[in-house]
Amino acid sequence: MIFTIGDTHGLSNLLNVLTYHFRRCANKRKCIMVHPTNKSVIHNRSIVYRTKPVLLSGTNTLGNSTFIHVGDVGIGFHRWYEDMWFITTIDRLLKAMKCRIKLIRGNHDNPLFWNYTYNVEGHLSWTALQVHLVKDYTVLKIEGNHVLFIGGAVSIDRHERTEGVDWWKDEVVEQRSDEDLARLATKKIDVVITHSAPSYAYPIDSYKNDYYPQLERDTASERTYLQKVYDVLNSVHPIKHWCYGHFHKAKTEYIWPTKFQCCDIEAITELR
């Protein structure tokens, strides 16, 4: 199974979302349970339990599932070792559940984390084998689908943020040439995962800001570019799913032949 996860804006929130998901499935299927220990840590203004996954008797029906996070994971807003602790804790949880997660960068993520040294399998070199920070324009085959990942977006509140602390100037979508997109289309993409969305998808209304006209132009340019990506890819091979976050609302619509899915904050949705 493939599940998408909406913006979490913090690794502690992501850990809580996954833990709750596994607990809920355990109650329904009587096969998995996640027991917190009596130790906890304060992070991002919330209490997060140090989880200790425990498999109960029976078949793990959630095994071999893949979670895809559509960006705004919340990586880079705290001390490096704090983020590393949460990533390795999430990694241990997923390993016990026999699952894995793919993360793209949103506009509220430090792109530096997506530029670390990777091993030959595409994972971070520091042993987080179930957590995969996917670089832009990577194509992975997941359950028979060719999945394209493109991270990044424009922060509409960037003028209120501090560069290098809670905003990064290279947050935006990397726009590639028509030749690069044509080569990408030959891979016959089935599913596209982005943080922002094409201009034809929800929300249709363009962003307006009379005080910061450049911001308005940047957001429009970004979505127009993603629309071009869709048109080029779809002209070669029909795209079945396009999943994205950023807009903090659950919305599903069909623009033939594609199902566009805007993921709500912290929502887990099966991709089907």
pLDDT level of residue 67 (50, 70, 90 thresholds): very high
Mean pLDDT of the chain: 84
Q: How far apart are CA 56 and CA 32, in angstroms?
A: 6
pLDDT at 35 over 90: no
| pTM for this predicted structure | 0.85
Q: Are 76 and 110 in contact (CB under 8 A)?
A: yes
Q: Give 128's DSSP letter.
A: -
List b or e across 146-168, with b for residues whose CB sees 16 or more CB atoms inside 10 angstroms. Answer: ebbbbbbbbbbebeeeeeeeebb
Whether residue 38 is predicted with pLDDT greater than 60 in this model: the reply is no
Q: How many CB atoms lie within 10 A of CB 198?
A: 23
Look at the alpha carbons of 235, 228, 247, 91 in this order and tell me if their dihedral is positive or negative: positive
pLDDT tens readout for residues 225-244: 999 999 999 999 999 999 99
CA 231 to chain centre: 22
Mean pLDDT of 65-89: 92
Which has more pLDDT, 101 or 58? 101
